Each structure stands twice: as C-alpha cells, then as structure tokens.
Amino acid sequence: MDADVSPEERQERLRRLPAVDRLLETARGNPDFADVPPAVLTRAAREVIDAERRRLLRPEVSGEELPASALWPQRLREAVGRLMRPNLRRVVNATGVVIHTNLGRSLLAEAALARVQEAALHYSNLEYDLEGGKRGSRYTAVRDLLCEITGAEDALVVNNNAGAVLISLETLARGREVVVSRGDLVEIGGSFRIPEVMAKSGARLREVGTTNRTHRRDYESALGAETALLLKVHWSNYSIVGFTAQVPLADLVALGRRHGLPVMEDLGSGTFIDFSRYGLLKEPTVQESVAAGADIVTFSGDKLLGGPQAGIIVGRRELIEAIRRNPLNRALRIDKLTLAALEGTLRLYRDEAEAVRRIPTLRLLTEREETLLPRAEALRERLAALGDPRLTVEIRRLSSKAGGGSLPLLDLPSPCLGLRVQGLPAHRFESALRRSEPPIIARIEEEAVIFDLRTVPPEDEEGIVAGVARILREVASCA
Ligand SMILES: *Cc1c(COP(=O)(O)O)cnc(C)c1O
C-alpha cells in the first residue's frame, strides 16, 4: 500500500505525529473529558494516532495534509464517544418486521419489565419455598400460570426453544428412534435444523413420507421396537401449498396411544391467542396442541408470545418431570431475570384483551392500517417541512411482516413512507441512516428507502426526522 512512499518521506511524516502523552495533554482540564476513565482516554488517543498514521502512509495522501492542531481534540472526542457508547444499544426498527430476529425479536411489556427490575434489584424467592422455609424450585414462578393458560398438566422452561427441543429429545429418545415426516425436517436459521438437533440429542431420525405428502400409514409402518417418540414440527417459517397431505396432530396422538408411544410437537412460534380472531392468519395455538393430546409441546418465549427469550415445554407430568431431572437442564437453565420477564408476560395472558393491548408484539401485529395512516401522513408533513427540494416523500401502501420465523404468509397492510433524495442512491441513503444516532434500520423498495411505521413507536419519529435532516445537510456539504 505504501510502496510509493519513500522511506525518508515515511519517516518525516510519522515524526510529525503527536505522542500519546502529548495528545492526552490536550485533554487535561477539558470538561468534555472530565468523566472519562483514564484507560479509555489513553485507548482513544492511541486509536486517533493510529488512524492518522495509517492515513499518512497512504500514497495518495500528501505529507502536507497533517491535521491542524485544533482537530486533534475533536478526533479524541469522537473516539471517546465511540468507546463510551454501549455496544448493545437502541435502534429504530423502521423495517416493519415485528419479530425482527436481528433487532431483538420481541419487545417486553412494561409489566414484564417491572418484574425484571424487582428480581434484579432485590433478593427473591427464586429457589426458596417461603411456606416450608427450605429450598424450592425455580420453575414454580411460571409453572402454574403455564398450566392454567394452556391446560397442560405440567410445564418447564429453559433458555430457548432450541434448548427445549434438544433436552426433550435427549430425555425421551436418546439412543432410540424418533419418527418424523420429511416435510417437517425444517431449518429455522442460525444453524438450527431438526436433523442436526436430533443428532446432537443422540436420538436417531426415522424419516417417513415425502416433502409434500405424508400419510398415517407412513408413520405406522415405521414403528417398531426401536421407536421412542413421534415428532411433529410446526411449519412456522414456511408453507407448502398445492398437492399436500399432513397427518393432523390428533391422528398422530391416536396412533401413538395405540402403540404406547409419546407424541411431541415443536410449535416454534407458539401462541396462546387465535390470530384469526383479529383478522390475521390462523396459527395453531398451544392450547389446541395440548387439547389434541400432545404429550410434549415446545415453543419460544420471544416469538409470537411476545415475552423474553425462553424455551417453554408443557405436557404430561411424568415426561416433564423426567426432562426436569435431566442434567442437561442445568446447562440450559433459565436465568432469573428471564424468568421474571416471562412471569410478567404470562400474567397478562389471563385476560386476552389485556394481553393484546399491553404486549408490544401482539399490539403491533394487530395494529390497524387506519390508525397507522394518520401517523404516516404527519411524519410525511414533518419531513416535507425540512424544506429540502431534493427530498421527495410519498405514502405507499405496502405490507409489514410478522418475522421471527412466524406467520410467513401473513402480509399486514401498512401505509409506509417512501423517501428519495436526489443525488443520493437509495443504498447510500439506507446506510447513512444506519449511522444515525440512534441508528435507523430501513429497507429499500424500488429505489426508495421505506419507513414502515408499524414497528416505529411515536417517540422514535423525532429520531427519524433528525436523522434525515442530518443526511440532507451532509449531502449538501459534499455536493
Ligand atoms: C424458532 C424455532 C425454534 C427455535 O426457537 P428459539 O427460541 O429461537 O431457540 C425451534 N423450532 C421451531 C419450529 C421454530 O420455529
């Protein structure tokens, strides 16, 4: 890279860089840096000098271009700002994908957060039986609620649903066969594939049927002395249409009963409410799976349920008890803050109207186009009021998605804003938005940057206006 820079020139340039101590000297007494830990300040100074060193060694940079002395404190301030900023931080989700796995999946209800705060700041009866004054079970906090809501005999929670599937298979079928339809051998993303989880659990996969059609006789002819379990996996993140046949859960249960075999269903997304009642697509509920007689049902806490990341296992008492006693349970143990958040979320489900109103995931999924439209219009006005003739903003009737591998066929009509800035290609506009503070995550459609307000709470609109205004200023100063 620096092949064109002569060794003498190189020396000369580097000689003019300030030493770390000298740069730190400029920060001394400056109130901007008063609260910055010395180690951070030193690291920032090194980073600023290193960046300048790399720049100076680039052949296209002339040696005259050393930064003016006034620029150094400014650079130092920026570096300190970067280092002091939390790595995990808030962003504006303008994608319209409600359960956005990369952006944190579900948002917690305030009521759930209150439970987390109490459990975090105070001692609690996490594993303490207040009646008996002795050791208790950490699952007590959610077990009754889960049984009450789903109708199951017993319940257990682990770290996530991948863990729930793994520990259930390991407990019920290690070293033996699990019969699964070929159509159910799904990949969830992030390297969770049913055949691979099965292998990790030590259970042997016995595939039956075909991708699009599996019949009861396919399951039946696979049963034998080695069979431990019948498994059904809900197609939460895809759909097969056309010439298809699946065996309903109730029929699989009947088959299992006849052969004395348990039936497990991995629901994935897991919902307690029937979305078809809200004009959305029908998604099987946990209650329906329990009522159909599934012996074990597993699902996520942070997909359609709208709670914290967790894997929930409900089902028959003796099977749940066996899973609870599995040593893997210790490795997959749910953390107390998660448990508190889950309890807070589950309590809201005792009243469905309350759940839909107070659990953000449910509220956003059921938000109507009519209530989003005035917000879209108001935001368009605010952006137009920036008064920049290069910016055009129009309202487009597009669709939001559930995301998180849930309800793949669902299109939620949503009035979105489509923005274009003359002289700024959409992909550069989109990446500039990501560098805003807070970062704004949007998508591109037909050369316009799209803001879908379904996933943008009103308090985030200010950040969007400020972000767009900053980008317009930067474009102006570059032009
Ligand atoms: C999402 C999903 C999982 C994994 O759940 P996590 O909570 O993300 O670990 C497992 N099975 C199915 C069918 C899923 O949709």
Per-residue pLDDT tens over the stretch 383-441: 999 999 999 999 999 999 999 878 888 899 999 999 999 999 999 999 999 999 999 99
What is the SS3 assignment for 143? Answer: helix
Q: Which of 358, 385, 401 is at the close of a domain?
A: 358
Cis ω before 438 (30° cut-off from 0): yes
Atom 12 of ligand 1, nearest CA residue: 268
Question: Residues 476, 424: contact at Cβ < 8 Å?
Answer: no
Question: Residues 352, 366: contact at Cβ < 8 Å?
Answer: no
Per-residue pLDDT tens over the stretch 212-264: 999 999 999 999 999 999 999 998 777 888 888 899 999 999 999 999 999 99
Task: Please give the backbone phi and psi of residue 267, each rounded to the nearest 5 degrees, phi first.
Answer: -85, -20
Question: Residues 235, 201: contact at Cβ < 8 Å?
Answer: no
255 and 170 belong to one structural domain: yes
The residue that leads in pLDDT, 177 or 405, is: 177
Closest CA to 310 of 195, 197, 155: 155
pLDDT of residue 360: 98
Residue 268 CA, ligand 1 centroid: distance in Å: 4
56 and 201 belong to one structural domain: no
134 and 236 belong to one structural domain: yes
pLDDT confidence tier of residue 2, bands split at 50, 70 and 90: very low
72 and 219 belong to one structural domain: no
Task: Kindly state whether residue 105 falls inside one of the protein's structural domains.
Answer: no
Contacts of 90 (CB under 8 A, 6+ apart): 438
Atom 5 of ligand 1, nearest CA residue: 161
351 and 384 belong to one structural domain: no
125 and 47 belong to one structural domain: no
Residue 140 pLDDT greater than 90, yes or no? yes
145 and 289 belong to one structural domain: yes
The residue that leads in pLDDT, 165 or 26, is: 165
Q: What does the alpha-carbon distance between residue 414 and residue 437 come to, in Å, rounded to a whole number? A: 25
Residue 361 CA, ligand 1 centroid: distance in Å: 17
Task: Kindly state whether residue 261 falls inside one of the protein's structural domains.
Answer: yes
Q: What does the alpha-carbon distance between residue 378 and residue 392 come to, in Å, rounded to a whole number? A: 15
Atom of ligand 1 nearest to the CA of 235: 13
Least confident span in 13-27, 259-273, 390-404? 13-27
Query: Which residues have any ligand 1 atom within 6 Å of their CB?
Result: 160-162, 165, 188, 192, 233-234, 236-237, 266, 268-269, 300, 311, 405
Give the DSSP H/E element, type plus range, for residue 21: helix 20-27
138 and 119 belong to one structural domain: yes
Task: Kindly state whether residue 198 falls inside one of the protein's structural domains.
Answer: yes
Q: What does the alpha-carbon distance between residue 412 and residue 341 come to, in Å, rounded to a whole number? A: 28
34 and 145 belong to one structural domain: no
28 and 143 belong to one structural domain: no
Range of the domain at 23: 7-84
Residue 264 CA, ligand 1 centroid: distance in Å: 14
pLDDT of residue 241: 84
Q: Which of 358, 393, 420 is at the close of a domain?
A: 358
In 10 A of CB 422, how many CB atoms?
10
Per-residue pLDDT tens over the stretch 37-81: 999 999 999 999 999 888 888 777 765 666 666 788 889 999 999
Q: What percent of the chain has pLDDT over 70?
A: 96
Per the structure, the count of domains in the chain is 3
pLDDT of residue 67: 64
CATH number of the domain within which 385 lies: 3.90.1150.180
Atom 3 of ligand 1, nearest CA residue: 268
Q: Which of 333, 358, 383 is at the close of a domain?
A: 358
Evaluate if pTM is beyond 0.85.
yes
Tell me whether strands 128-129 and 227-233 are parallel, antiparallel or unpaired: unpaired
Task: Kindly state whether residue 2 falls inside one of the protein's structural domains.
Answer: no
253 and 307 belong to one structural domain: yes
